[in-house]
Structure 1
Amino acid sequence: MDVQAAVAQGAGKPFVIRSVELDDPRDDEILVRVVGVGVCHTDLVFKESEAIAPPVVLGHEGAGVVERVGAKVTKVAVGDRVAMTFRSCGHCSRCDDGDAAYCRTMPQLNYAGVRSDGSKAIRDDAGPIGSNFFGQSSFATHALTYERNVVKVPEDLPLELMGPIGCGIQTGAGGIMRSLACKAGSSLLITGGGPVGLSAVMGAKLQGCRIVILVEPHPARRALALEFGATHTIDPKAETDLAAAVRAIAPEGVDYAFDTTGVPTVQSAVMDTLASKGVFGIVGVSPRGSPPPGDINRIMTFGYTIKGIIEGDSDPDVFLPELMDHHRRGDLPFDRMITCFPFSQINEAIAAQHRGECVKVVLLMDTQGTRP
C-alpha cells in the first residue's frame, strides 16, 4: 500500500516526507494506522550517525489503530488501539526472565533496518528503503509491527499521546522504578531535564525518594521538574563544581544517580557526587569509544555500581499498563511536557525541540497539531 513517510536522507539533511510503498503484513505482522508518534533523541542519533544506511524510515514511539493482522497474530485484532514499543523475540533466556529490554537478539530486531530475513518492508521507485526500526518505523502514516511490540491502550486515554510511553517515558520512569529500584527515603541525582530526565523525576516521586536533584540548563525545564516532584534543581551554567553543589544539598552524597546526557565530562563529575555504595545508572548515548566514568580504585573503595540501562528494564506487557494507570490517576502527567506538531512539520518540530522551546515532540497524522 502507498503511505506517507518521513524519510531520513542522511547526516545533516532534513527529513523528506514522500509517498512510499509499504508491504502488506506477513503472517506475524500487524498493520497499524499511526495516529501520533513521538520524536526521540535516538531517532536523531541514528539519522546523524547513519548507523542504518539511508534512505531509512525511523520512528519508534508510535501509537495508532490496528488495521490488519497476519494469520498468526492473536494478541490484537482490527480496531484495537495500541502503543508501540521496542521489539523482542519472546523466547530467549532474557525474555523468559522478563528482561525483554535485554533480548538476546535486541540489536538485530531493533537496529538493523531490515526484517529478520534481511528484507526491507518499504520501497519507492528508487529501490528499497530501510525499515523495521525498533520493529515499527513509525515516522509514517502506517507502520508494520509485531505482537511483542504492541500494548493495548484503554479507550479513556488519549491515543495520540501514548506513543512516548513506549520508549522515552518508560526509559526515564523505568530507570528509577525498575532499573535502579530507588528506595523510599533515598537521594537521587538526575542529569539532564529532557523527556527522559523529567520522566525520571516523576518516577522518583512515585518511588518516594526524599531528595531528588535535577541538573538542567533550561529554566523552564527546571521549573517543570519542581512541579513533577524534584526537591532541588541545579543550573550547570551557574554551578561549575557539580559535586560541591550536590553535596551542599546531600552532604554524604547521593544514593543513586541517573545520567540522560551521554556527555562523558558530566558522567565523570557525577561519580564525585555518589555516597558510598552509590549506584549510577546511565541511559544517555555517549560518543563511540567513551570509557566508563570514574577511577577504578575509587569505584572499588566505595563500592560503587555503574549500571547500563536500556528501556528502563521494561517488560512492556507488564510495565506499560502500569504507566498508563499512573497517568490516569494523575501520578505520571507526562502529557504536560508534550507539544504536538503536524507530521508535515517534522523538521520544524525537531528544530524547536533543539532550541529548547519544547520538551517532548509528538507528531500528529490527522490534525494540524497544537503549540502552546
Structure 2
Amino acid sequence: MQTTVALVESPGQEFTLSEVELDDPRPDEVLVRIVATGLCHTDVTMRSMLPAEMFPNVFGHEGTGVVERVGAEVSGIEVGDHVVLSLRSCRTCAACRAGHVGHCEQTLVLNYLGYRPDGSTTHHRAGQPVLGSFFGQSSFARHAIAHPDNCVVVDPSLDLTLLAPYGCAFQTGAGTVLNVLRPGPGDSLVVHGAGAVGLAAIAAAVAEGVDTVVAVDLLPSRLEAAAALGATPLDPSTLQGASVVDRLRELTGGGATYAIDTTAAPSVVREAMQALAPRGTLVALGLGAEEYAVDAVDLLQGGKTLTSSVEGDSDPLEMVPRLVAMREAGRFDLDHLVTTYPFADINRAVEDLHAGRVVKAVLVW
C-alpha cells in the first residue's frame, strides 16, 4: 500500500513528507493507522548520528493509532484495537526472560538498523529500499508496521494524542524512578533537565511520596512545570557564581540519594555525581555525549554509582498500562505538557523543541 511518511533523505537533513510503498503485514506483524506520534530528541539525534548508507530513513518511535490489519500468527491484538507503540524485543533471550526487555540481545536489529531481522525493509520507493523499522514501528507515517511485542492495547475511550509520549519519554522518566531507583519517602531525588523525560521522573517520584525532589534546568517555563508537579526548582544561572553542587547539597540535606540526568552534558553529569550523598546513584539517560568524565576521588571515596537505563528498564506491555492507570487515578498528570502539531509542521516542531518553547511536541494527522 502507499502511505505518507516524514522522510529524512540524508544525514542531518530536515524531515520531508513523501509517498512510499509500505509492505503488507507479515503473519507476525500488525498494520497500524497512526493517529499521533510524539517527537523525541532521539528521533532528531539519530538523523544526524547515522552514517550516509542508512538513509533515506523513516524515524518515529512514540506512535499511537488504530489497528487495521493483523497477521495470522498474531494473538491478543484485533482489528480496531487502539494501541500505544513502543520499543521491540525478542521476548526469548536471557535478558528478555529476566524482564529486561530494553537490553534484549536483538535490540540493535529490532530497533535501530532500519530493516527486519531477515534484511528486508518494510518501506520502498521507486523500487528501492527505504530504511525504517525504527523501534519496530517508524511511526512518523500515516501507517506503520508493528509487532505484538511493541503494541500495547489501550481503552478506546482514551485520547491517543495524549498517550503518544507514554511509548518512550514518559515511560523512560517514570520507569527510571519506579523500576531502577525505587526511592522511598525518606530519599531525595535531583533531576537534571526538566524536559518530558525529567518531568515524568518528577511526577513519578512525587506520586511515590519522595520527600525531596529537585529539578535543575535553565528554562523558567520548565522549572515552573516542575514546581507545579511538586519539585523544588533550581536555575544554575541564578546562583551568581555559587556552586551548583553546594546548593544541591543544601537542598537535599547533605547530598541526594538519587539523581537522573537527561541533558547528556558532561559537565552536568560531573556535577550531578558530586552532589550525590555517599553511596548515591546517578542514572544517565541523555543521548548525545561520547563520554563522561567523573571526579575519581569523589567516586571512589563516596562509593557512588553511575549507571544508565533503556526506557527506564520498563517492559512497555506492563509499564504503559501502569502509567495510564496512574494517570486515570490523578497520580501522573502530564497531559498539559503536550503541544500538538500537524505532521506537515514537523520541522517547526523540531525547532520549537530545540528552542525550549514546548516540552512535548506530538504530531497528529
Query: Please, what TM-score do these two structures have when normalized by structure 2?
Result: 0.96
Match of 2:165 in 1: 164
Match of 1:197 in 2: 198
Between 75-84 and 178-187, report the one with greater CA deviation: 178-187
Pairs within 5 Å for 1:205-216: 205-216=206-217
What is the identity, as a one-letter code, of the residue corresponding to 2:282? F
SS class of match (1:18) = strand
Percent same amino acid among aligned pairs? 39
Could you tell me how far apart the structure 2 residues matched to 1:335 and 1:126 are? 42
Match of 2:95 in 1: 94
Could you tell me how far apart the structure 1 residues matched to 2:10 and 2:275 are? 39
Could you tell me how far apart the structure 2 residues matched to 1:11 and 1:135 are? 21
Between 133-142 and 304-313, report the one with greater CA deviation: 304-313
Between 120-129 and 22-31, report the one with greater CA deviation: 120-129
Between 238-247 and 34-43, report the one with greater CA deviation: 238-247
What is the identity, as a one-letter code, of the residue corresponding to 2:89? S
Could you tell me which of 269, 275, 284 is aligned with 2:286? 284
What is the deviation of 1:253? 0.5
Structure 1 stretches of 4+ with a deviation exceeding 3 A read none
Could you tell me how far apart the structure 2 residues matched to 1:54 and 1:126 are? 15
Deviations 1:225-247 (A, max 9, x none): 111121x1111222352101212
SS class of match (2:238) = coil
Deviations 1:239-270 (A, max 9, x none): 35210121221231000010000011110111
Could you tell me how far apart the structure 2 residues matched to 1:250 and 1:122 are? 51
Q: Which runs of 5+ in 1 are unaligned?
A: 366-372
Could you tell me how far apart the structure 2 residues matched to 1:41 and 1:246 are? 27
Q: CA RMSD in A?
A: 1.3
What is the identity, as a one-letter code, of the residue corresponding to 2:266? P
Match of 2:299 in 1: 299
CA contact (8 A) 2:193 2:262 kept: yes
Match of 1:265 in 2: 267
What is the identity, as a one-letter code, of the residue corresponding to 1:326? M
Could you tell me how far apart the structure 2 residues matched to 1:123 and 1:217 are? 43
CA contact (8 A) 1:264 1:286 kept: no
Match of 2:250 in 1: 248
Could you tell me how far apart the structure 2 residues matched to 1:155 and 1:80 are? 7
Match of 2:236 in 1: 236
CA contact (8 A) 2:270 2:295 kept: no
Could you tell me how far apart the structure 2 residues matched to 1:104 and 1:308 are? 17
SS class of match (1:248) = helix
Pairs within 5 Å for 1:174-185: 174-185=175-186
Could you tell me how far apart the structure 2 residues matched to 1:6 and 1:284 are? 24
Match of 1:62 in 2: 63
Q: Which runs of 5+ in 2 are unaligned?
A: none
Match of 2:139 in 1: 138
Q: How many residue pairs end up in the alignment? A: 362
SS class of match (1:306) = strand
CA contact (8 A) 2:61 2:139 kept: yes
Could you tell me how far apart the structure 2 residues matched to 1:305 and 1:353 are? 31
Could you tell me how far apart the structure 2 residues matched to 1:352 and 1:307 are? 30
Could you tell me how far apart the structure 2 residues matched to 1:204 and 1:184 are? 9
What is the deviation of 1:126? 6.3
Could you tell me how far apart the structure 2 residues matched to 1:116 and 1:237 are? 48
What is the identity, as a one-letter code, of the residue corresponding to 2:217? E
SS class of match (2:83) = strand
SS class of match (1:262) = coil
What is the identity, as a one-letter code, of the residue corresponding to 2:114? G
SS class of match (1:237) = helix
CA contact (8 A) 1:174 1:311 kept: yes
CA contact (8 A) 2:274 2:298 kept: no
Pairs within 5 Å for 1:74-113: 74-113=75-114
What is the identity, as a one-letter code, of the residue corresponding to 2:247? A
Match of 2:325 in 1: 325
What is the identity, as a one-letter code, of the residue corresponding to 1:2? Q
CA contact (8 A) 1:121 1:132 kept: yes
Could you tell me how far apart the structure 1 residues matched to 2:154 and 2:273 are? 39
Match of 1:4 in 2: 4
Match of 2:315 in 1: 315
Could you tell me how far apart the structure 1 residues matched to 2:22 and 2:236 are? 46
What is the identity, as a one-letter code, of the residue corresponding to 1:127? Q
SS class of match (1:286) = coil
Could you tell me how far apart the structure 1 residues matched to 2:196 and 2:216 are? 13
Deviations 1:56-92 (A, max 9, x none): 0000000000000111101201000000000000111
Match of 1:370 in 2: none
Pairs within 5 Å for 1:5-84: 5-51=5-51, 53-84=54-85
Could you tell me how far apart the structure 2 residues matched to 1:151 and 1:249 are? 39
Could you tell me how far apart the structure 1 residues matched to 2:127 and 2:2 are? 15
Match of 1:120 in 2: 121
What is the deviation of 1:206? 1.4
Deviations 1:140-180 (A, max 9, x none): 00000110001111123211221210100000011111111
Could you tell me how far apart the structure 2 residues matched to 1:286 and 1:203 are? 25
CA contact (8 A) 1:278 1:305 kept: yes
The answer as to 2:185 corresponding to 1:147 is: no
